[in-house]
Structure 1
Amino acid sequence: MIQNVLTTLVEVIVPLSIPVAAGALLGRYKQLDTKPLLTLYLYFLSPAIILDTLATADISFDDVYKTLAFSLMNLFLLWGVATLIGKMLKLAPPEAAGLTLISTFTNSVNYGLPLVLLAFGQLGLDKASVYVIAQMVIVNTIGVYFAARSQFSVRSALKSVFSLPAIYAAILALALRALGLHMPHELASGVSMVAGAYSPVVLAILGAQMVKVRAAHTERNVQLAFWTGLTVRLVLAPLLAALVLLALNITGTLFSVLLILASMPVAVNSVVLAERFGSSPALVSRCIVWTTLASFLVLPVLIAAVGG
């Protein structure tokens, strides 16, 4: 087991840490502006990797059904746990909302996809594609509701979902599959080339964002909520995800991929929602940094345990 963990650490985590470290150094010493890179990621790289993956993904309708069922069941289970803990600890509304964001939303897109690709290969990436699309929709709808229930607007939430190019890339890919069509070879090659740039760019963005987040985490002292959020994301989330997967009778590569994606650190987008709606951004940002750092140790253990 220890040898498997060390092997995973060297073969998976070390390659991932290089662009993350590069992004962190550029953010710290060169004040790397991530806004243009985020635009590149959101409107160019993300649609490309979704289209490239979904158009040829080795997935079945059963995989899609089970992935969507897992996404929703796991989400609402974690929501219930975060709500119960918040009431038990008598957290103030901002900290309670922040704890919900920490518990429910993971960095499955710009950290999870590169990790899955390295750990489980192209088959793993295929299995992860449906989950990632589901998370994009969930974060921009239910995530907004979690962060600001009193300000939630169904219309604005749906508008934010359909402003994501990745959604249209997914629709196009699924339509091509349903009709038995394929993109012209030249176009498919171009899309694949763009998709190949996804991992290093988004990991560098993550590193630069972590530096900025770290600078903001001392604004408020929320120790109790912080340690609770850390425990939920690093300990309870993997355990609950495994229980849901077993309940849905999900096995094989799909089990491994979904467990790892559900056990990722706190999503960077969570702090954006927290800042916008006053859901204790200091708490959320601090948990983003520490769950990401802890993931370099926790995830190799999980990957080794599921045979990645």
Structure 2
Amino acid sequence: MLPILGPIGILVLIGYAMGRGATGLDTRTLSTVVVMVAAPALIFSSLTSLEITPQAVVAISGAAALCLAISALLAALVLKLTGGSLRSFLPVLMMPNSGNMGLPLVMLAFGDAGRELAAAYFVVVALAQHSIGMSIYAGSFKVGTLLRQPLIYSVLLVVLVLTTGIDVPPVIATTAEMTGGMMVPAMLLLLGTSLARLRVADLKSAVVLAFGRLAIGVISAICVIWILGLEGMPAGVVFLMATMPTAIVIYVFSERYNRDPERVVGVVVVSTLLTFACLPGLTWIALRMAGVAS
């Protein structure tokens, strides 16, 4: 497990140290670069240089959408039974951190082929976070907000390349590969810095919701793998991506629209720490599903 989990832990700790240090890290600028440049470049680079079939990418994208749908149903049921606020905590339990943690973990566990599958999964989750997740907190859906997401245009370009068979010019392919390559370390540094600056306000509630996020992720992943009959690496990728902790961007939305941000940030911190503690077990299960571990 050390070659897989070690780099993740080291980069997160570096980010944490920078967040606690005097020099700090300009997270606003770095996160903007990640969202506006690095993420679209990684998606374009990964999905236009496929070593796996387009059918596998479509299957993973469908699995991601189904995981989110099942997670939403389970989260709504849990919140209904416990009296929790759907507006405040449905995205918390529904949306995994498939970017900061999921992508690096899958890449280290499964290599380039896993990266391509994880990128397809990440696109679906990222678009859902910036459309459904934001809309829940805002109380309304705005198409303009979604259309301002560069990921959409990156996906459209990928579809154009794959359907027409156009050869991507080497200079564009190399630029996209180099730019996308900075996304994973940047995301891990941002995760560490964010953990250094976030504070838990309601520990009991945070612990309960953090365990809920993990349980919902595991259940939704197992259900989707069974429903779609996934085997091998796709099953392992879906399991890891679905079981990641609450996404940090959910806290950003809750703060913007003033939907219990103090409690939401607590869930983000505790959920992330809980997932870190469970990473060896989650990774081992995913490797077993992929037929890599015994």
TM norm structure 2: 0.90
Distance in structure 1 (CA, Å) of the matches to 2:61 and 2:244: 18
Within the alignment, does 1:71 sit opposite 2:39 as a pair?
A: no
State the identity %: 26
Distance in structure 2 (CA, Å) of the matches to 1:196 and 1:61: 22
Taking the TM superposition and a 5 Å limit, the aligned residue runs for 1:120-199 are: 120-148=110-138, 151-153=139-141, 156=142, 158-199=143-184
Q: Taking structure 1 as reference, are residues 299 and 222 closer, same or farther at Cα in structure 2, changes over 3 Å only?
A: closer
Question: Where does residue 28 of structure 2 map in the other structure?
Answer: 35
Question: Where does residue 211 of structure 1 map in the other structure?
Answer: 196
Within the alignment, does 1:19 sit opposite 2:7 as a pair?
A: no
The Cα of 1:191 is off from its aligned counterpart by 2.0
Match of 2:208 among 228, 247, 267: 228
Within the alignment, does 1:105 sit opposite 2:95 as a pair?
A: yes
Q: Taking structure 1 as reference, are residues 65 and 192 closer, same or farther at Cα in structure 2, changes over 3 Å only?
A: closer
Is 1:98–1:283's contact at 8 Å kept on the other side of the alignment?
A: no
Q: Which runs of 5+ in 2 are unaligned?
A: none
Q: Which amino acid aligns with 1:44?
A: V
Is 1:49–1:194's contact at 8 Å kept on the other side of the alignment?
A: yes
The Cα of 1:292 is off from its aligned counterpart by 1.4
Question: Where does residue 200 of structure 1 map in the other structure?
Answer: 185
TM norm structure 1: 0.87
Question: Where does residue 77 of structure 2 map in the other structure?
Answer: 84
Q: Which runs of 5+ in 1 are unaligned?
A: 1-7
Give deviations 1:221-268, integer Å, cap 9, x for gaps: 372x42331122223321231122111111111111011000011100
Q: Which amino acid aligns with 1:183?
A: V
The Cα of 1:116 is off from its aligned counterpart by 0.9
SS in structure 1 of the partner of residue 198 of structure 2: helix
Equivalent residue pairs, number: 287
Q: Taking structure 1 as reference, are residues 145 and 166 closer, same or farther at Cα in structure 2, changes over 3 Å only?
A: closer
Q: Which amino acid aligns with 1:299?
A: L
Distance in structure 2 (CA, Å) of the matches to 1:174 and 1:121: 23
Higher relative contact order (CA 8 A, sep 6+): 1
Q: Taking structure 1 as reference, are residues 240 and 191 closer, same or farther at Cα in structure 2, changes over 3 Å only?
A: closer
The Cα of 1:58 is off from its aligned counterpart by 3.1
Q: Taking structure 1 as reference, are residues 284 and 201 closer, same or farther at Cα in structure 2, changes over 3 Å only?
A: same
RMSD over aligned Cα, in angstroms? 1.9
SS in structure 2 of the partner of residue 182 of structure 1: coil
SS in structure 2 of the partner of residue 31 of structure 1: coil
Q: Taking structure 1 as reference, are residues 187 and 77 closer, same or farther at Cα in structure 2, changes over 3 Å only?
A: closer
Taking the TM superposition and a 5 Å limit, the aligned residue runs for 1:235-254 are: 235-254=215-234
Distance in structure 2 (CA, Å) of the matches to 1:264 and 1:107: 5
